[in-house]
Structure 1
Amino acid sequence: MFHQPNSEFAVVCRFQGLFPDDIGGYEKHRTRNGGDLGHVDASRSHLNRRVIGNADWAARTIAMIEDMKAENFADEIETLTRRRRKKQLKHRMVEGPRDPWRATRHGPMREVILTANRNWFDAPATSAARAARAQAFEDAARDWLLANFGEDVVHARADLDEQAFHIHAVIVPKVQVELNGTTRWMLQPSKHDLIKNYEAAQDSVGQHFAPLGLARGERRAAAVRKARQTGDEPPAYRQHVRTADWRKAEDTKIVETRAELEQRAEAMIVDEIVLAQREAGMIARENAIEVREQAAAGRERAAETKEQEADAMLAVGQGLAAGAFDIEDRDGTPALVETPEAKPGLLSKLRARMALSSSGRARALHVFSKALARLRKQSRDEAKTAVARDTAEIEAADEKIVEIASRLPDAERRSIGKIRLSLSARIMALTGRNMARETPERGGNDGRP
C-alpha cells in the first residue's frame, strides 16, 4: 500500500539525552498533566497509545536504576572487605552508593522521536486511509526500535494529539563492565552503534522506512566532508529546535505581521491598539516575573529536598560505619536499629538528620542492607570453614589418643577413655559456641544486632 518511493518526504529520527531525574517531567508531559501543552489538542489526547513497555514503566525504570546502584555498592563493599582495605571501606560506607553512569552532559539514557512531515500523514483522501498510514508508521517504528535496541527500549508511545503523528521512545542502555577487578552495572549509551554514530542511525531508519515511501534525511555530514575536500563552503548547520521554541518563534512572526498591518490603520485605532498592547505587555511582564519567581522558589525547594535526602543517606552510612546502627532482617524486610554501644550524642545528631528526609533514609536502608547481607554471608562461610578445619584437627587428635591408649594396661586405658569422652564433649561444646559467635543471627525484640 505504501511501497511507492516518495523522496519529497523524509523520515525524522532524533535522539535526546535523558537523566533519570527527567523521567518525572517526561511522565507529566506524556499524561498531559504538565509541561508545554500549548500545541496539544486535548480532545484527541485519549487517542494516544502505548506501543512498547508497561504502563508503570517509569516506576520500574527508577527502581531498576536504584537496584543497580545497590548491587554495585554491595559488590564494592564486598571487594574492599575481602582485600582488607579498612580505610577505603569506611570511606565508601560513609559516602554511599554512586550513580551507575559516567559524568555526561547528555545523560545516560536516550529519548527517541520518530516522525515525518504532517502532510505525509494527511495525504490519503479518507480518514480510514490516514489511520492505516499512521498504523503502518507505528508498526515500522516498533520493529525498528526492538531490532536495534531490544530490551533496552523500556517505553514507546504514539502521540496523535499534536500536529503530526509521532513516536516517542525511551532507551535505558544497561551493561555490565569490569572495573577494578569487579563487575559493575552501568548505563552506557555507546553500547548501541546507532546512538554512537548519528549518520548510521539516519541510514538505518531511512532504509527501514523506505517501504512506506519515506526517504532518508539530509546527508549533511557527507556534504560537509565533500565541501572540505573541494574547498567549498559547507552547508549551514541545521540545529534542532524544540517544538515549544518553534511555536514561540512562529507566534512572534504572527505578532510582527499584525503590527505591520495595524500601522496602516487610522491613527486613532493605532493609538488604541498600541495602548492596549502596552497594557498587555505590562501585565505579561508582571506575570513573567511572577512565574520566574515561582520557578526559582520551586528550584530552591527541590534543591533543599535533594540536599536533605543526600544528608539523610549520609547519616545512615556514618551511623553504620561508627557502629551506632545495624540492619536486621524482619520477615524479609530490612530494618534500621540502634546498637547498645551507640553514643547518645551521636545518635541524637544522626536521628535529627534522618528525620528531615524519610525517602533518603529508606534509600540508604535499601542499598546498605544488601551490602551488609553480603558481608554476613561471607562471615558465616568463613566461620563454617574454620569450624570444619578445627573439627578435623580434634578428630585427628582423638584418633592419636586412641592409638596411644591401646598400648597401655587396662586400668590406664579405661582411665584415659573416661578423660577422652569428657574432653571431647567439652571441646565440641566450645567449638559450637565459637561457631555461634562467628555467625550471629540478627533479630529479636530488643533492637540488639
Structure 2
Amino acid sequence: MHKYRLISKKGEGTFSEVLKAQSIKSGKHVAIKCMKNHFDSIDQVNNLREIQALRRLAGHPNIIKLHEVIALALRNVLPMRRGNVVSICCVAAVWYWTSALWAAVTKDILSQLPGPIYPSTSIWLTFLPQALSYFLVQIFAWLAGLNLFEGTCVSSKSGLSMGIWQLAGAAYFFGQLFTVAALALDAPSIIFVVKAIEPLSTALLAVPLLKQSFNLRLFMAILVACTGIMITAWAAHGGMERAHQSHVYLAMALGMLANVGFSSRACVAKRALAFESSEPLEAYGKLTLAATQSGSVLLLLWLLLGHAVLGDAAVDGVLRHLLTRPGPWFVASFTYFLYQSASILLLSCFLVETHALLVALKHVFVVVLASLMTGAVLNSEMVAGLAIVCAGVAWYLAGGKPEKDAVLPCKMPAEDLTVPWALVALVITVVAIGTVMPMWRV
C-alpha cells in the first residue's frame, strides 16, 4: 500500500485511510501531500484508481496544496513506459484496420443485395453488429464483475442520471445508422470526405460541454489534417462500379448527421466517464447497452408499423440473406465490435480533442484501405493528401508539452453534470431524422 502524509494531521496512513481522514463532507480543510519516495516508478502503482481519486479531488474547495499531489503523480506515475506505449499503438492499429475492413465489407454487403431489406437495410446492418457487440461485452463484463445495468436501466449509486448514458447511446446508434445509410448511397471515399469533419465538430463541442479551454494549435492542426484527408479521399474516389450522382448530396447530408452523432457521443461519454470514473470496459458496455436499446426500439417500431407505412412486410428477407452469405455479415459485425471497443478504450486514455486527432488519422486509413479493397488505386494525389495530414499532426505534436492527462479529467460534482439543452435538442433532432429514414428505403 502506498503512504500519504496528512499535513494538517499527525501521522501517516494508507490511501484509503487518508480518504477517510480527509473531511470533505464535514467541510474541514485538509491538505494532503504525497510522499515522493513512493512514486519512483509506475510499477509501484498497482491501481490507477488511486491516481484518479487524487485527481478528482483537485478542484474541491476544501482541499489545499493538492496540486502538489497532482503534479507529482503526473510527473512520476502517468508517463507511460515503453510497454504501455506499444499497447496503445497496438490498440490504435486494431482500431484503424478494423474500421477500414468494416467499411469495405459493409459496402460489399450493400452492393450484393438485390434490393432493400424490410424495414430498412441500414437498420439491420447497424442493429445486428450492435447486438453482437452487446452480447460480447456483456460476457466480458460478467467475467470482470461489472454491472452494466447500473446507470443505464436502474439508478446509479453515483447519482448519475440514466438520461446521460441514454443520450450518448442514442447518439452512438444513430451516428452509426447514418454512416451505413450513407455507404448505401455512395463510395466509402466520398462518405469519408464528409466524415473527415468529425474531429472538428468533436473538438468544438468539447469546449462548452467539457468546459475545456479552446486550443488554437489543436484546432488548426485538425483543420490541416482534415484538408489532407479531403484531398486523399477525393483522389481515392473509386471502388464503386456505378456512380449514384443523384444520391451524392443525400449521402453527404447523412455523413454530416453521422458526425453530429459521434461527436455528441464522444463528449457526453467523456463527461459521464469523468463523473463515474468508469473503467473502459464498463464505459463501452454501458454505451453499447444504451445504443442497443435505442436500436431495439427503432427496429420494433418499424416491424410493427412498417406494413402500414411501407406497404410490405417481408421480414424474412434479412434471414434469407444471412443464410446465403453469413460470412460477410459476421465479419462486419465482429469488426464493428473491435473498432468501437478500441475507440472507447482510447477515448478513456486521452483528452477528447486528442482522441479527435486520432479519429482524423483513422479516416486516412479508412479512405486508403477501404478504397483499395473496393478497387481504387494509390496515386500521387493521395500521397500528397497523406503528407498534408502528417504535417498537421506533426505541427500539433511539435508545439507545447506532450499531453500528460492520460486517464480522466477531474471529477465533477453532481450539480455540474448537466448537458446543454442545445446538445440535447441536437441529438433529439438526429434521432427524429433517423426514425423516419426507412421511408427513404435505404
TM range (shorter): under 0.3
Please state which structure has a larger fraction of its residues in strand: 1
Larger radius of gyration between Structure 1 and Structure 2: 1
TM-score of the pair, normalised by structure 2: 0.23
TM-score of the pair, normalised by structure 1: 0.23
Please state which structure has a larger fraction of its residues in helix: 2
